[in-house]
Structure 1
Amino acid sequence: MSQTAAYQTASLPAGDPTPEEWRIPLLDAMLAHVPFDGWSKGALHAAASDLGLPAEMADLAFPDGAVEVLEMHLKKADADLADTLAAMNLPAMKIRERITVAIRTRLEMHADHRESVRRGLATLSLPQHAGLAMRSLWATADTMWRAAGDTSTDHNWYTKRMTLSAVYSSVLLFWLNDDSEDFSDSWAFLDRRIENVMQIEKAKFRLRQTQDRLPSVSRFLGRLRYPGL
């Protein structure tokens, strides 16, 4: 028995499983077909066949079709990432190191399914899936920041996730086309992107300090109008 077959057999639900209980096994089996058939109903039905299921069972498990499998795959990836990062000693690291580790870990988790990731991006780039694409990217950035210990509740909560979404997206696209050994070029690119963000944040901080030292125009005008101020 192949390793894939053994894994699928080990992960099969026991007893008389419901369509809901077949969702994870179907997703796992479908990953072998996505590189060839994309995130499509054909790949989903092929996964059902691998598990000895009729296509109708796959349709019951995922009534919204293959894109529902993709959405579950992305959510599962975030959950797996959160669990993996929780087992690391992130609090001992600097913030930039925590984010670097989070992005690198996410990509390394999918190194064996890089073509499936590429096919997923192709599906998410379609106009009808724009909402899912944005929600999924935001959820991944949020997972990384939460794992990094972020507790912000003001506008920084949004800006941090927007910035990380941009960084992660650029590194992901670079990684998909990286043929260097152990993705060394991707990790170097990741370091540069993080450094760019840090330089921007430092520049913003210096600008705020400069603005704080500048005389207030509104206060100056107020004094002209109301000399007693």
Structure 2
Amino acid sequence: MSNTKITFKPSAKSIAFGVVGTLFFGVFAFKMLSLTWTVSEGTNEIVGYVILWIMTFIFLFFAISTLIWLLNTQIIQISKNELRISKPLIFLHKSIYIKDIKRVYQKDYKIKSAHDHKIINIYDGFKTIIVLKNNKEISINSFDTTDYNAFNKKIKQRISYYKEKNTETKEVSTLDKWNGISWLIFTIVTTIIVIWAFLIK
């Protein structure tokens, strides 16, 4: 079996969501922090400032969360004996020997949002769970990974070389690259409008 490394890059869609989310919530947080706050007459001053700080921290929380998601962007490499996961934006990498993997299985992977007390499906796909001998788990999903189907097949081929045979493989649709695109376009347009309104106008 060849020891050539096969590389699976992060999806542009995932990176775009991370960038847009960071900008969107970051702009709101920046605007809140840069404003001179005043509390309306008739409103308890302490309560007013508490509400303003809570709103600011909510925007900061989501800005930092999406930034962390972006910074954890992964590049995956599979060779005959090794699985290597790199996070180039934070200069981290992890190498796992294939023989140290106990099993591999799949689960559904969904990204959801709530609006008007309704749950909205933004993305439907799968994630591959890699279980190590020490029972730690590593999750690779079809939203973050380009060529997820190829990755899933390849890691199972490597595992079957050592132990598992005929493991079931579920594939994301060939239309998966468009899954969630409408939401991405909506968030990009909204973010541009917010940046223009807050920072440029």
Higher strand share: 2
In proportion to residue count, which structure has more helix?
1
TM-score, structure 1 as length reference: 0.26
Instruction: Give the number of the structure with larger relative contact order, counting CA–CA contacts within 8 Å between residues 6 or more apart.
Output: 2
Larger Rg: 1
